[in-house]
Amino acid sequence: MNVVPDTSVVIDGRVSATIEDGQFEGATISVPEAVVAELEAQANDGLDSGWDGLSELQRLAELADEGVISLEYIGERPSAIERGHASEGEIDALIRDLAEGLDATFLTSDIVQAEVAQAKGLDVEHVSPEIREVGTLTVEEFFDDQTMSVHLRSGAVPKAKRGELGEMRYEEIADEPLGEETIDEYAREIVDGAKESHDGFIELSEPGMKIVQFRDYRIAIGRPPFSDGIEITAVRPIAQTDIEDYEKADELKDRLLERQRGVLISGAPGAGKSTFAQAVARFISEHDYAVKTMEKPRDLQVGPEITQYTELAGEMEKTADALLMVRPDYTIYDEVRKTNDFEVFADMRLAGVGMIGVVHATRPIDALQRLVGRVELGMIPQVVDTVVYIEAGEVNTVYDVRTEVKVPAGLTEEDLARPVIQVTNFETGEPEYEIYTFNRQVVTVPLKDDEGGPGTESGVDRIAKQEIEREIRSIARGYVDVELRSQDKAVVYVEDDDISSVIGKGGGRITDVENRLGIDIDVRTHDENPNYGANAGGGGGAGAGASGGGGSQPGQMVQPEITSRHIVIPVDGNHGETVEVQAGGEYLFTATVSRGGEIQVSRGSAIADDLEHAIDRKDPVTVVPS
């Protein structure tokens, strides 16, 4: 009796299992060279399936040495072109032809291959992969009730993160380092367990990296060449909460059930964002809302009534398209990080789906700032109307986000009214931030000036001084200094030769500036400025450096590039965020970093002149988060 196995049944280990059950005892097992080639290619790519198949061939060789079976290798090794078309069935066809030529029993665990072979008249034996109950994995033994994650690496002492939410400690949990053979055994046990258990699956399988979901554990396995050694990181949620466990729960519950909303759950890593998202998902699901999730990898702990989706064909956009057909009331989008994630989030929200996104942020307002530049400003409140900031496992801040057409706080003239995104503390009802477009720049202005301490300039003050500076510099040729006396009054100090130009005939020119800016301006010479020496000395010609003290802040040193039309400032990170540009430690202007990671200033403007002067003086130019 001849038996020809295909690749699937060799990888599953079911050839030797079937022989040991007595079904093919004494048979000749004819292994196609095409099977060997596939297994070799998979093993070279670092795939466990290749190694599993090669191990099965070794077991067959042992059975042949014991006289239980006869073993032979048949056919020719497939060409590179045939291997390249393996997914289209070329290798499967070669193996079936060999089985047909030998009039052999064709053994497979691939149902599609079995159906095709039967249609072609072959004698087919289809065996399903054995599913067994998987017990406790060795890696689980490193966990206790307060362990959130276990970190194992060849040649290193095992470590774990343990403690309460917000108070985690990274500590050693063993006395001796793990050997490579031991951790390799752990890794293979995890992968095998995920394949064999109904409670596990392989989320991601790439050369050098596997992500496994096994019961409540999300386990990442890194191997060379992706990592410089074998590493296992296993994570498990240490707390499962209900929304009632959080302060402000009643207000939040009413808000979530009132209608589908756009919510960002934000906080630092380990703060408890995902734990809160799980509680929200369970709550809204229990109140007759259809809830789904979008995750990569899938690790939220939710009930069976909530379907968890990952990337479809490697793209979350395709997942979103599929979900729109499923028509959920709410979708939990775990880990909204990249521009593409925010765009998918926005598209689904604007399609009418309630969206709850989990984002990293170190301040409550930072979560909203990450939308700036990624979503059209006027659309932000339609995409996100609620921001929940989690700190140390508790709801720290909740913001209500809405648009009003008004004069921004700190400005006075009615003709300066514009759409303003108002960010209000949900608990107190007090506005805390305003976001709007000013001089073609998106600005985020804190309405509470006490955050920076006594004497700190508010965002409105800085913007007002910047605009006054820009207007006066377009008229004056010498050094300009601005002192803001109040929200609607300022003093401008200029060179003696520029007084008449700035004021204009009959005061007409300065009146025009006052009307445009909505602020009263008193024009004086530098001799009347008691701080002139301090501001102008040592390179005071930077102009906008007069926009106030405060000294330099730590920031990113940048190297501006001057082109024929622009000054381009490259910025590493902070994409879509509002930043301050400083020269020599002095404030120049506020701008929003583009998606391409740069700030462009048109040459010929007052800001560009100040920046060019600073570059000529070789003042260090820095970018500081606003």
Closest alpha carbon to 522 in 531, 511, 532:
511
Highest mean pLDDT among 104-118, 378-392, 490-504, 598-612: 378-392
Rounded-to-integer distance, Cα 399 and Cα 390, Å: 12
178 — pLDDT class (breaks 50, 70, 90): very high
Q: What angle do CA 295, 296, 301 make, to 5 degrees?
A: 50
Q: What is the mean pLDDT of the chain?
A: 84
Give residue 73's pLDDT.
94
CA 605 to each of CA 401, 475, 558, 618: distance values in angstroms, whole numbers, following the listed order:
34, 11, 20, 20
Residue the block writes with tokens 């790519």: 45
Rounded-to-integer distance, Cα 462 and Cα 483, Å: 11
* pTM (two decimals): 0.58
Reply yes or no on whether the pLDDT at 619 is more than 70.
yes
Reply yes or no on whether the pLDDT at 467 is more than 50.
yes
Record the tokens describing residue 227, joined without a space.
Answer: 């990592």
Cβ-in-10-Å burial (0-12, 13-18, 19+) of 445 comes to: buried
**In this predicted model, what pLDDT tens digit does every residue of 205-236 receive, in sequence order?**
888 889 898 888 889 999 988 899 999 999 88
DSSP-assigned letter for residue 315: B
List the strands of the sheet with 566-570, edge to edge. Answer: 561-562, 566-570, 598-602
CB of 286 within 8 A of CB of 296? no
In angstroms, how far is CA 576 from the centroid of its own chain? 14
Highest mean pLDDT among 101-105, 241-245, 560-564, 577-581: 101-105
Rounded-to-integer distance, Cα 174 and Cα 238, Å: 21
**In this predicted model, what pLDDT tens digit does every residue of 266-286 receive, in sequence order?**
998 878 898 899 999 999 999
Rounded-to-integer distance, Cα 99 and Cα 106, Å: 6
Give residue 440's pLDDT.
66
Give residue 82's pLDDT.
61
Rounded-to-integer distance, Cα 488 and Cα 521, Å: 9
C-beta atoms surrounding 565 within 10 Å = 11
Q: Which domains does the chain have, with CATH numbers?
A: 2-126 (3.40.50.1010), 138-235 (3.30.450.90), 243-447 (3.40.50.300), 459-546 (3.30.300.20), 556-625 (2.60.40)
Tell me the average pLDDT across 494-518.
86
Q: What percent of the chain has pLDDT over 70?
A: 89
